[in-house]
């Protein structure tokens, strides 16, 4: 083979090698660019997955906060997403892993839909229960008002009946008296001659009053404001009543004349105006004045 032919062959080989090197360089650059594109795409996908997971967490937090729901399943679902988000952030992106994460996100979104529907149902039921409770409170309050009104009416009625049941004493009169050895009673208007004081009155008819024994209390107070007679005490809720004498009568709702004799010391029977009061229990039912000269 001649030198010229050898040169031509060498040039051809060099040319082929050059083309191969160029092709290899192009392939390497293309492969590098594809790798960079893949890495960028994987990073973008990872960021999107993180955003979706964060959005899911936000959704759960809003539902939990807005409705003050402490549902166990709801809290557990949110916590699972938080754990998954932490896992995604710490993982190195690759196609297989991102594919698994996307599949998990689809499941989580489906779960969220079902979970929120259940929450909406719970909220609706809760609102209905609250509405029914409020209505019950309103009705109960109205019932209390009616009961209070009826109680007040009954109290007023009882007070009226009680007031109406008091036996009135009318035509109350008082007089100084002398009691003869024979038992005869003689009236006197002179203080130095009087031995006792007699109080007479008439019990008025009253159909509301209770039939039976009734105890009346008589007060006789002399001009010096001294109480005559027994000077006994009747204790009741409102206070104490000091009285001169008591008299028991059997009352049958009809008119009844009553007289009570009040003993007195000689020094208490003085000239002047005397006050005589009659009480039915603690209720003053009659009062009058009398004068001894």
| Count of CA atoms in the C-beta half-sphere (13 A) of 179 | 9
Question: Do residues 253 and 207 make contact, with C-beta atoms less than 8 angstroms apart?
Answer: yes
pLDDT in tens, the chain (293 residues): 556 666 667 667 766 767 766 666 555 545 554 445 556 666 777 777 777 777 877 776 777 676 555 566 667 777 777 777 777 676 666 666 666 766 766 776 677 777 667 766 666 656 666 677 777 677 777 767 776 666 666 665 555 455 556 778 888 999 998 888 887 888 889 988 888 899 999 988 887 778 888 889 999 999 999 999 888 888 887 788 899 999 998 988 888 899 989 988 888 899 999 999 999 888 888 899 999 98
Nearest to 178 by CA among 187, 168, 169, 170: 187
Question: Do residues 56 and 80 make contact, with C-beta atoms less than 8 angstroms apart?
Answer: no
Distances (CA, A) of 275 to 29, 95, 162, 239: 134, 117, 27, 21
User: Under DSSP, is residue 263 helix (H, G, I), strand (E, B) or coil?
Assistant: strand
Domains in the chain, CATH or no CATH each: 3-124 (no CATH), 169-292 (2.60.40.10)
Structure tokens at 117: 């529907």
């Amino acid at each position: 083979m001649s030198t010229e032919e050898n040169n031509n062959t060498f040039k051809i080989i060099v040319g082929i090698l050059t083309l191969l090197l160029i092709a290899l360089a192009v392939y390497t650059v293309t492969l590098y660019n594809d790798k960079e594109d893949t890495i960028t795409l994987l990073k973008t996908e990872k960021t999107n997955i993180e955003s979706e997971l964060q959005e899911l967490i936000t959704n759960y937090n809003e539902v939990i906060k807005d409705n003050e729901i402490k549902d166990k399943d709801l809290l557990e679902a949110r916590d699972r997403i938080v754990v998954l988000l932490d896992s995604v952030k710490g993982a190195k992106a690759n196609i297989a892993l991102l594919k698994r994460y996307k599949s998990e996100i689809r499941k989580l979104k489906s779960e969220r839909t079902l979970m929120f529907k259940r929450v909406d149902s719970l909220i609706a039921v809760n609102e209905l229960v609250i509405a029914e409770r409020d209505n019950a409170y309103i009705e109960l309050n109205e019932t209390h008002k009616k009961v209070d009104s009826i109680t007040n009416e009954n109290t007023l009625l009882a007070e009226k009946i009680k007031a109406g049941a008091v036996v009135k004493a009318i035509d109350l009169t008082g007089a100084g008296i002398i009691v003869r050895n024979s038992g005869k009673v003689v009236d006197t208007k002179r203080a130095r001659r009087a031995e006792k004081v007699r109080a007479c009155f008439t019990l008025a008819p009253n159909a509301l009053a209770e039939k039976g024994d009734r105890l009346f209390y008589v007060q006789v107070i002399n001009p010096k404001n001294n109480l005559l007679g027994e000077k006994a005490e009747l204790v009741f809720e409102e206070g104490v009543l000091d009285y001169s004498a008591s008299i028991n009568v059997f009352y049958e709702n009809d008119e009844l004349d009553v007289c009570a004799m009040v003993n007195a010391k000689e020094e208490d029977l003085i000239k002047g105006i005397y006050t005589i009061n009659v009480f039915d229990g603690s209720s003053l039912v009659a009062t009058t004045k009398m004068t001894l000269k």
